[in-house]
């Protein structure tokens, strides 16, 4: 690769990173803490709010794998533009929703944005960088996390000052900015096929999905990949519970929206800072003990949440939960890939992400039923205990990949 091509790819990555910051800033502004609090103002109960928060993640369960596969056939540019249109349009519709059903529909549609953008943007980075690919992926991932970090801060402040409607409008404006950045990035990508090539592209699409189905069957027979994906799903089950019901708990003990935004911002910020360091540690000492420690510690801290009322203590507990969550999830994707053949890395991580989304979606739904029946303390205790039990199950069942290789040799 020439120096000019390297610089061009670096500029493309910069545009993609700005696209990710703006897109996930917009998306997270419309999620936490605004969505649970908005649902509460409409008179919705805990179970309904759980379904609303989960709805967008359910979209990801069904759409991430097809979105990545379709981008291989029809081009990254077209798929990214589709996601940008959803990022830009959906937030403006939230103020028009006045029922559980309409909010669930909006969340399902809004979930298309991240379900498409995530796998396709990652594939675009892989296209651009043969060398320094991990570094480029790291910049892209950090950009997403940065957007998720800023969103709750800004949304919480806007709710307190100007109310829900203008906060959703601000989310939409950020989505429009993301659409602009995505469009500029797309122009730097290779042009997709023309309509005249549609028959050949359709045939290529059928072959691609056939190969995907074959590889998928292989991955689904690997118990270690499935168990590692399962521990990630349990971790995101707990995270989904926090996203949906930490705002409602904080409101119940008298905290305003801007302070709730601080809680979520600090949680995301700790995770952003901790993940690279923890990943390095996991490479040296092994992934299993790191994942186990994070999952069990996260369960313990989660159980403390509804027993803490002083804001400084609540902030500390949420920060420690965010740290534990970062420790647990920093090594899980790498471990899942360790158990896969190099030719099946993409499918293994696709299955991993889909199972993770199942847990992320189930968390708010199940927790909503628990909150409605037993209130916050029982709910957080049950979910925390689930994390701890899952951690011990994982460490007992899953070996280190290097131990498997030694046994085979």
pLDDT in tens, 217-265: 766 778 898 999 899 899 999 999 999 999 999 999 999 999 999 998 8
- pLDDT at residue 144, as a whole number: 86
Residue that is last in its domain, among 134, 169, 191 = 191
Specify if 204 maps to a domain.
Answer: no
pLDDT digits (tens, 9 = 90+) for 75-96: 889 999 999 999 999 999 999 9
What pLDDT band is residue 71 in, cutting at 50, 70 and 90? confident
Specify if 274 maps to a domain.
Answer: yes
Q: Are the CB atoms for 58 and 116 separated by under 8 Å? A: no
Q: Which two tokens stand for residue 342?
A: 């190099």
What is the residue-averaged pLDDT of the chain?
85
Query: Is the model more confident about 339 or about 167?
Result: 167
- Same domain flag for 25 and 143: yes
Mean pLDDT of all residues in 190-199: 51
- Same domain flag for 301 and 181: no
List the domain range (segments joined by +) for residue 149.
1-191
Residue 199 has pLDDT above 60, yes or no: no
Residue 167 has pLDDT above 80, yes or no: yes
Residue 408 has pLDDT above 50, yes or no: no
- Same domain flag for 184 and 235: no
Q: Which long-range contacts (CB under 8 A, 24 or more apart) does 375-379 make?
A: 376/245, 376/248, 376/249, 376/252, 376/305, 376/306, 377/306, 377/307, 379/241, 379/245, 379/306
- Same domain flag for 85 and 13: yes
* Residues 150, 160: Cα–Cα separation, whole Å: 16
- Same domain flag for 158 and 246: no
128-137, 194-203, 341-350: which has the highest mean pLDDT?
A: 128-137
**Which of 233, 250, 58 has its CA nearest to residue 152?**
250
Residue 197 has pLDDT above 60, yes or no: no
* Residues 384, 392: Cα–Cα separation, whole Å: 13
Q: Exposure string (b/e) for 320-339, b if CB count within 10 Å is 16 or more?
A: bbbbbbbbbbbbbbbbbbbb
108-122, 264-278, 328-342, 374-388: which has the highest mean pLDDT?
A: 374-388
Specify if 113 maps to a domain.
Answer: yes
Query: Is the model more confident about 29 or about 32?
Result: 29
- pLDDT at residue 138, as a whole number: 66
- pLDDT at residue 286, as a whole number: 81
172-176, 264-268, 336-340: least confidently modelled range: 336-340
- pLDDT at residue 227, as a whole number: 92
Q: Which two tokens stand for residue 65?
A: 């794998």
Prediction pTM value:
0.80
* Residues 307, 379: Cα–Cα separation, whole Å: 12
- Same domain flag for 310 and 243: yes
- pLDDT at residue 10, as a whole number: 86
Specify if 345 maps to a domain.
Answer: yes
Residue 348: phi and psi, rounded to 5, are: -60, -45
- Alpha carbon 236 to its chain's center: 9
C-alpha distance from residue 263 to each of 11, 36, 154, 257, 406 (Å) = 34, 15, 12, 10, 45
Specify if 310 maps to a domain.
Answer: yes
CATH assignment of the domain containing 112: 1.20.1250.20
- Same domain flag for 181 and 231: no
Q: Which two tokens stand for residue 165?
A: 């409607």
CB-based burial of residue 131 (10 Å sphere; 0-12 exposed, 13-18 middle, 19+ buried)? exposed
Specify if 208 maps to a domain.
Answer: no
Specify if 197 maps to a domain.
Answer: no
- pLDDT at residue 354, as a whole number: 82
- Same domain flag for 256 and 380: yes
Residue that is last in its domain, among 169, 191, 213 = 191
Residue 130 has pLDDT above 70, yes or no: no
Structural domains of the chain, count: 2
- pLDDT at residue 191, as a whole number: 64
What pLDDT band is residue 409 in, cutting at 50, 70 and 90? very low
* Residues 146, 148: Cα–Cα separation, whole Å: 5
- Same domain flag for 372 and 323: yes
Q: What share of the chain is helix, strand, coil (3-state, %, to 5)?
A: 90, 0, 10
Mean pLDDT of all residues in 347-371: 86
Residue 343 has pLDDT above 60, yes or no: no
Residue 307 has pLDDT above 70, yes or no: yes
- Same domain flag for 186 and 101: yes
Residue 198 makes CB contacts below 8 A (sequence gap 6+) with: none
- Same domain flag for 4 and 73: yes
- Same domain flag for 129 and 234: no
What pLDDT band is residue 72 in, cutting at 50, 70 and 90? confident
**Which of 179, 215, 194, 196 has its CA nearest to residue 74?**
194
What pLDDT band is residue 63 in, cutting at 50, 70 and 90? confident
Residue that is last in its domain, among 151, 174, 191 = 191
Kind and range of the H or E element at 369? helix 345-397
């Amino acid at each position: 690769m020439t120096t000019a091509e390297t610089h061009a790819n670096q500029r493309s990555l910069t545009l993609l990173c700005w696209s990710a910051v703006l897109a996930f800033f917009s998306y997270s502004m419309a999620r936490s803490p605004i969505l649970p609090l908005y649902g509460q103002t409409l008179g919705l109960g805990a179970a309904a709010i759980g379904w609303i928060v989960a709805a967008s993640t359910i979209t990801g369960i069904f759409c991430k794998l097809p979105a990545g596969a379709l981008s291989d056939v029809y081009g990254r540019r077209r798929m990214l533009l589709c996601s940008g249109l959803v990022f830009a349009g959906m937030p403006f519709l939230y103020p028009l929703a006045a029922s559980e059903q309409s909010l669930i529909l909006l969340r399902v549609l809004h979930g298309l944005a991240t379900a498409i953008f995530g796998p396709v943007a990652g594939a675009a980075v892989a296209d651009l960088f043969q060398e320094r690919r991990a570094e480029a992926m790291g910049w892209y991932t950090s950009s997403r996390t940065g957007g998720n970090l800023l969103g709750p801060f800004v949304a919480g402040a806007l709710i307190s000052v100007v109310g829900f409607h203008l906060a959703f409008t601000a989310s939409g404006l950020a989505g429009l900015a993301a659409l602009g950045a995505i469009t500029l990035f797309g122009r730097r990508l290779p042009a997709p096929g023309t309509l005249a090539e549609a028959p050949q592209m359709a045939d290529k699409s059928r072959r691609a999905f056939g190969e995907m189905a074959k590889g998928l069957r292989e991955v689904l027979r690997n118990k270690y990949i499935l168990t590692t994906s399962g521990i990630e799903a349990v971790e995101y089950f707990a995270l989904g519970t926090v996203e949906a019901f930490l705002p409602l708990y904080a409101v119940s003990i008298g905290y305003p929206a801007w302070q709730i935004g601080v809680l979520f911002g600090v949680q995301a910020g700790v995770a952003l800072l901790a993940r690279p360091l923890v990943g390095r540690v996991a490479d040296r000492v092994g992934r299993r003990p790191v994942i186990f420690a994070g999952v069990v510690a996260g369960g313990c801290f989660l159980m403390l949440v509804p027993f803490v009322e002083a804001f400084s203590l609540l902030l500390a507990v949420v920060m420690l939960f965010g740290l534990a969550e970062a420790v647990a999830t920093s090594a899980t994707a790498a471990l899942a890939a360790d158990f896969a053949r190099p030719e099946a890395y993409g499918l293994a991580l696709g299955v991993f992400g889909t199972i993770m989304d199942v847990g992320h979606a189930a968390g708010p739904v199940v927790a909503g039923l628990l909150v409605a029946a037993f209130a916050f303390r029982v709910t957080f205790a049950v979910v925390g205990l689930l994390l701890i039990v899952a951690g011990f199950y994982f460490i007992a069942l899953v070996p280190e990949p290097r131990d498997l290789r030694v046994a085979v040799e």
